[in-house]
Amino acid sequence: MIQLDFKKYLFHFKNEIGTSRGKMRTRTSWFIFLKENDKIGIGEVAPLPGLSIETESEVESELNRLKFLNSNFSSTLPSIIFALETALLDLQNGGKRILFHSPFTNQNVGIPINGLIWMNDFDKMKSEIDSKINIYKCIKIKIGSINFEDEIELIKYIRNKSADVEIRLDANGAFDFNSAKEILNRISKYKIHSIEQPIAKNQIENLKVLCETSPIPIALDEELIGVNDFESKLKLIDFVKPHYLVLKPSLLGGFKSCDEWIEIAEKNNVSWWITSALESNIGLNSIAEWTATLKNNSIHGLGTGELYKNNFTSPLSIKNDKLFFNPNNNWDLTELLK
């Protein structure tokens, strides 16, 4: 019989980071342990306040409920679905943190990732661009947090530094519909790959218009959160007709849910990529291992595990513009398992 336990864990960022939900200095995860005989499968519950549909108190309550069940573990909360799915895969594969075998886990073949420029003041964002522009083939910059003229200057700066680097923008729903149209037109001359979520979610009529008329391809991100059943997913993509989907397994309810998004996207000629969402190395590893099985040559948004002071030592590392899993490097989960 499989038994479930869990533990709450507070992560500390090395530096304060800026997000669409304000500044973050810490972030909370819960870890699910599925135990059978001498094996333990681990999954990370990593909701993001203000973005996930579940609250931290709902997570706590649900985990306490699950703890008293006997093997029949299921939930409707996306972050817990993801954690249960990954913990079970881990357990079934021997509790060694290898959920999927692929060249990524077996042969140290890297996954291409973007270089992310966090929200900050102009000078710090420019400095971060300088540190990444010669390493990454794709630079993703979050916009909508500082003066827009300064953001234009940063985009212009990236393009002047490199004519070939792929520029992805992430607005996190920062703009209203009318200003979004003007902004998209102004920045289109800088050869932008795509922009994520230019307007806030739940404005699908306006979003449809933007997708039809924008000179820059539009990616859906926050719009996907909370859309859980297959028919609702299908209706959203069929109506809005986006150019890209950004898939975050821990916010969208795990791999099976994301597999549905992928199936729908590909039937509608919509491209997609995978992104982590500030998980620790445990959650990031699960997402990366799954991503490596998908045979998608896009540049993915992985590799945020280096942000924490107290992350867990793992086989993961970033070299140049790729995320690697070195099977010769061991996990150190002493702090988590004690």
Active-site amino acid positions: 142, 248
The three-class DSSP label of residue 178 is helix
Task: Note whether 1 and 8 are within 8 A (CB).
Answer: no
C-alpha to C-alpha distances, 2 to 37, 44, 190, 283, nearest whole angstrom: 8, 17, 54, 21
C-alpha to C-alpha distances, 18 to 23, 59, 291, 326, nearest whole angstrom: 5, 24, 26, 30
Instruction: Return the H-helix or E-strand segment holding 31.
Output: strand 22-36
Side-chain-side CA neighbours of 88 within 13 Å: the count stands at 14
- The C-alpha atoms of residue 142 and residue 127 are separated, in whole angstroms, by 14
Treating both helix axes as pointing N-terminal to C-terminal, what angle do 78-92 and 254-267 enclose, rounded to 10 degrees?
110
- Locate 263 and state its tokens: 């199936």
With CA atoms as reference, report the closest residue to 277 among 76, 62, 56, 51.
Answer: 51
- The C-alpha atoms of residue 110 and residue 303 are separated, in whole angstroms, by 11
With CA atoms as reference, report the closest residue to 138 among 60, 244, 210.
Answer: 244
With CA atoms as reference, report the closest residue to 198 among 253, 151, 156.
Answer: 151
Instruction: Return the H-helix or E-strand segment holding 160.
Output: helix 148-161
- The C-alpha atoms of residue 164 and residue 190 are separated, in whole angstroms, by 11
- From the number of C-beta atoms within 10 Å of its C-beta (0-12, 13-18, 19+), residue 18 rates as middle
Per-residue buried b or exposed e for 195-225, using 16+ beta carbons within 10 Å of the residue's own CB: bbbbbbbebeebbeebbeebebebbbbbbbb
Residue bearing tokens 């607005």? 171
Side-chain-side CA neighbours of 107 within 13 Å: the count stands at 5
